[in-house]
Structure 1
Amino acid sequence: MLVAVGDTHKRLRNVAISLVSITKSKPEFLNDIERIAVQILNSWKDKQQVMFCEEARKFSFNVIIKQVLGLTSEEPETGKILEDFLAFMRGLVSIPLYIPGTPYARAVQARSRISSRVKAIIEERRSRNGRSCGVRNDFLEILLSVDTLSEDEKVSFVLDSLLGGYETTSLLMAMVVHLLGQSPAASEQLKLEHEQIRSSKERDEFLNWEDYKKMGFTQNVINEALRYGNIVKFVHRKALKDVKFRDHLIPSGWKVLPVFTAVHLDSSVHADALQFHPWRWEAQDQTCKKFTPFGGGSRCCPGSELAKIEIAFFLHHLLQNFRWTAEDVDQPMAYPYVEFGKGLLINLDRCSI
């Protein structure tokens, strides 16, 4: 979907929007997110430190693999797909020379293996459904019923979903945790918001869509982390015809890289732009054209809401169970995407209940 154009892109995007619309408020999806968040946090109970980037990637991958393919972290197939997916990710922005042993060559081979596994899962799912053994509540189940996509497009769509739901979501989680660790006031207000939501529910009752809609300050924190952190710093575009922009003419065929950072960190657009200040969103339009962390127009990321739900639910349990401090030496850097060079090691202090 990143490189498709015209009718192909429109078909893929329509499927993506349909899947997200159907999925985002379903109890099964929301419950899966919460179960995985609790599972991750329970694994910290005897730890004083964790490498947060690693934990965030584990969380985001377990969520997306469950939602897309219906696989849990305990299934052997999940580990195999993750191993190949990481090899695929490492070669995604490498020099495209197919020489054995290079990141690009390993990425191409890994993608081929993932495609084969996805095709096998599709065939197994079709066979099981043909035997009337019930259906699963995941993207793949809905995707199988879509007649507008070819078999290869469905496999590519699964890969796109894994890619979109893994790296950027986990990096945004890490950025939120990093920034909250430096802002006690924001952390405390966020904690109060989630305590109020939890106080209205039974002890072990799952969060629901209505609870998510009450997380107003959580949305402010996530938006500010997106603006300030710029997880995706730019996008690739191509002028399909001559474009007049202010006093400039962009000729047809030219490549254009809109740089989000230039707008998000512009003090003439966002007051005190170099300060992490979630409260700015109480008075600022969150959908304004000068805030574009997920792109815009027909290429705006269709899964943006899913990423926000994942982070909001994870924060709900993190804030009620832990306090944390991060090592000052590990600051986010762009390579060109955001990375924490040392993995964002955080010190944990478990809250008394």
Structure 2
Amino acid sequence: MDNAWILGLVGTILSFILLCRSFWAKISRSKYRNQLPLGTLGWPLIGETLEFISCAYSDYPESFMDKRRSMYGKVFKSHIFGSPTIISTDAEVSRFILQSDAKTFVPSYPRSLTELIGKSSILLINGSLQRRVHGLIGAFLKSAHLKAQITKDMQKYVQESMATWKDNQLIYIQDEAKQIAFEVLVKALMSLDPSKEMEFLRQSFQEFIGGLISLPVKIPGSQLYRSLQARKRMVKLVHEIIQDRRKSSSPSNPRDVLDVLVSDTSGQFTDELISDNMIDLMIPGEDSVPLLITLAIKYLSDSPKALHQLTEENMKLKRQKAKLGEPLCWSDYMNLPFTQNVITETLRMGNIIIGLIRKAMKDVEIKGYLIPKGWCVFTYFRSVHLDEQHYDWPYKFNPWRWQDKDTGSCNFTPFGGGQRLCPGIDLARLEASIFLHHFVTQFRWVAEDDSVINFPTIRLKKRMPVWVQRREGPLAFVPFPRECEGTTRQTS
């Protein structure tokens, strides 16, 4: 009896393997077989997902792509995250995909992320509704009024935070940047100042964002379940704020993004749509902008020449404004050429967004490659940004490479592109410029060794610890505490 049970189990397993092999063979023998890019679909069901993830966690995350590019070319087929996928590391192909409308490609995300961001999120909706939401939000985020408000708030929160720092104190840049950027962004979104509501949102959002890339398991105790519960708490609070806003008269000049959406007269903007997008728009305050700031300081810590030039540029501006008795405005920060080059180079090397996944709504052919209907296509920005055909010494932090160079080429897409280009692109640069200005003009620092973790999201392993010292007083170096001995970098 036992032998019969074992033979039956073995037979079932073999049948399953043969069925999977048959499925894979059917794909490879399909009508597309002579048109698909070269590549392999890997193992049945799991494809090449495990190898992709293993490489993504390593110090050389693009090794998965580089290995296949050398074998198959810059565009190749694979099977990752449960779907047959065309992977593009070709700048022109990726640009075409990003520029396409919803009749050709639509967003595709891991199941855990789609569960969390809400069906009305700007990240998921398509067509005229997506264009309207994106257009309204983008126009407001680019307005001179908001840039002035962001500058005022960012300067205030940065100065309040840095005023508490003491000489020879260990500061975690990633934590400080997250605290400040989140408060600035929520103020721009809903006019909330630091308060119990703000702290409630911050704590709930940290729980929420932890599940964006997680196992799609919703049982109590799982990360996705905890994140969904955190989202429910945030939605309840945002709904209350929306209802209060609807009861009051609409201002002639909107003060925040919520005013813009609530004041819309099309009848399409439900409370659910508004709350979904309010929550999703908080992601840059917790993730993208703080990491841009943190990575910039890491790269500057490793590049004394770049730090010296950036510091000189910002000190010159500070002296000029002090002499005139004028406060700094947003145009002052954005017109610091070398500072902007540092931010651009940080975006290129850091790859805070490694790429985007789209799903083909019909058969698409580009540059001789076929992307079949129903397949996903992964535009992998990191391989383009670190391609020696586009950038000399691509792994070297070199802000000077951007002197008199256009950042609008298809070889540089840190914020995506097309109709879904990140609407907060200018604000991300502005906030990073303000933080860097106040940091380098007020402090010297010694950075402890830290490393970048690239998956599932970019972060610094130790949160970028630095020992700070104010610039006031004699310029002679005052020794840092003994705990700092053994660090490898010292700025001056």
> In structure 2, what is the Cα distance between the partners aligned to 1:290 and 1:180?
23
State the Cα distance separating 1:64 from its structure 2 match.
0.8
Does the CA contact (< 8 Å) of 1:70 and 1:136 recur in 2? no
* The one of 255, 258, 272 aligned to 1:140: 258
Please, which moves more after superposition, 8-17 or 316-325? 8-17
Q: Equivalent residue for 2:50?
A: none
> In structure 2, what is the Cα distance between the partners aligned to 1:264 and 1:118?
38
> In structure 2, what is the Cα distance between the partners aligned to 1:104 and 1:277?
40
Please, which moves more after superposition, 78-87 or 240-249? 240-249
Report the secondary structure of 1:252's partner residue. coil
Pair 96,205 (structure 1): closer, same or farther in 2 beyond 3 Å:
farther
> In structure 1, what is the Cα distance between the partners aligned to 2:378 and 2:358?
6
Structure 2 unmatched runs, 5+: 1-121, 474-492
Q: Equivalent residue for 2:373?
A: 252
Please, which moves more after superposition, 146-155 or 263-272? 146-155
State the Cα distance separating 1:136 from its structure 2 match.
7.4
Does the CA contact (< 8 Å) of 2:334 and 2:430 recur in 1? no
Pair 79,136 (structure 1): closer, same or farther in 2 beyond 3 Å:
farther
User: Which string of whole-angstrom CA distances, capped at 9 and with x for unpartnered residues, describes residues 248-290 of structure 1?
Assistant: 2111221111111111001111111110000000032111110
* The one of 269, 276, 301 aligned to 1:156: 276
Q: Equivalent residue for 1:298?
A: 419
Does the CA contact (< 8 Å) of 1:56 and 1:170 recur in 2? yes
Q: Equivalent residue for 1:195?
A: 315
* The one of 363, 368, 378 aligned to 1:242: 363
Q: Equivalent residue for 2:456?
A: 336
State the Cα distance separating 1:230 from its structure 2 match.
0.9
Report the secondary structure of 1:125's partner residue. helix
Matched-pair identity in %: 34
Q: Which amino acid aligns with 1:211?
A: D
> In structure 1, what is the Cα distance between the partners aligned to 2:232 and 2:397?
42
> In structure 1, what is the Cα distance between the partners aligned to 2:298 and 2:145?
26
Does the CA contact (< 8 Å) of 2:381 and 2:414 recur in 1? yes
> In structure 2, what is the Cα distance between the partners aligned to 1:223 and 1:134?
36
> In structure 2, what is the Cα distance between the partners aligned to 1:277 and 1:80?
40
> In structure 2, what is the Cα distance between the partners aligned to 1:142 and 1:3?
20
> In structure 1, what is the Cα distance between the partners aligned to 2:144 and 2:362?
37
1:181 aligns with 2:181: no
> In structure 1, what is the Cα distance between the partners aligned to 2:167 and 2:197?
29
Does the CA contact (< 8 Å) of 1:31 and 1:206 recur in 2? no
Pair 106,135 (structure 1): closer, same or farther in 2 beyond 3 Å:
farther
> In structure 2, what is the Cα distance between the partners aligned to 1:40 and 1:258?
38
Number of equivalent positions: 349
Report the secondary structure of 2:379's partner residue. coil
1:214 aligns with 2:335: yes
> In structure 2, what is the Cα distance between the partners aligned to 1:183 and 1:68?
36
> In structure 1, what is the Cα distance between the partners aligned to 2:166 and 2:448?
20
Q: Please give the TM-score of this superposition, normalised by the length of structure 2.
A: 0.68
1:97 aligns with 2:217: yes
Report the secondary structure of 1:323's partner residue. strand
Does the CA contact (< 8 Å) of 1:88 and 1:107 recur in 2? yes
Report the secondary structure of 1:55's partner residue. helix
* The one of 76, 79, 89 aligned to 2:199: 79
Q: Equivalent residue for 2:390?
A: 269
Pair 23,160 (structure 1): closer, same or farther in 2 beyond 3 Å:
farther
> In structure 2, what is the Cα distance between the partners aligned to 1:308 and 1:280?
18
Please, which moves more after superposition, 203-212 or 89-98? 203-212
Please, which moves more after superposition, 47-56 or 288-297? 47-56
Q: Equivalent residue for 1:44?
A: 165
Does the CA contact (< 8 Å) of 1:50 and 1:345 recur in 2? yes
Please, which moves more after superposition, 274-283 or 147-156? 147-156
> In structure 1, what is the Cα distance between the partners aligned to 2:165 and 2:156?
15
Does the CA contact (< 8 Å) of 1:31 and 1:207 recur in 2? no
Report the secondary structure of 2:355's partner residue. coil
RMSD: 2.0
Report the secondary structure of 2:312's partner residue. helix
Pair 171,26 (structure 1): closer, same or farther in 2 beyond 3 Å:
closer
After superposition, residues 302-313 of structure 1 pair within 5 angstroms as: 302-313=423-434
> In structure 1, what is the Cα distance between the partners aligned to 2:407 and 2:461?
30
Q: Equivalent residue for 1:166?
A: 286
> In structure 2, what is the Cα distance between the partners aligned to 1:222 and 1:211?
15
Please, which moves more after superposition, 193-202 or 220-229? 193-202
Does the CA contact (< 8 Å) of 1:165 and 1:303 recur in 2? no
> In structure 1, what is the Cα distance between the partners aligned to 2:265 and 2:204?
29
Q: Which amino acid aligns with 1:296?
A: G
State the Cα distance separating 1:72 from its structure 2 match.
1.8
> In structure 1, what is the Cα distance between the partners aligned to 2:467 and 2:220?
41
> In structure 2, what is the Cα distance between the partners aligned to 1:184 and 1:269?
25
Q: Which amino acid aligns with 2:245?
A: R
State the Cα distance separating 1:300 from its structure 2 match.
1.2
State the Cα distance separating 1:213 from its structure 2 match.
3.3
Report the secondary structure of 1:235's partner residue. strand
Pair 44,136 (structure 1): closer, same or farther in 2 beyond 3 Å:
farther
> In structure 2, what is the Cα distance between the partners aligned to 1:228 and 1:93?
22
**Structure with the greater alpha carbon radius of gyration:** 2
> In structure 2, what is the Cα distance between the partners aligned to 1:222 and 1:52?
16
> In structure 1, what is the Cα distance between the partners aligned to 2:149 and 2:137?
18
State the Cα distance separating 1:343 from its structure 2 match.
1.3
Q: Equivalent residue for 1:7?
A: 128
> In structure 2, what is the Cα distance between the partners aligned to 1:247 and 1:179?
39
Does the CA contact (< 8 Å) of 1:24 and 1:305 recur in 2? no
Q: Equivalent residue for 1:348?
A: 468
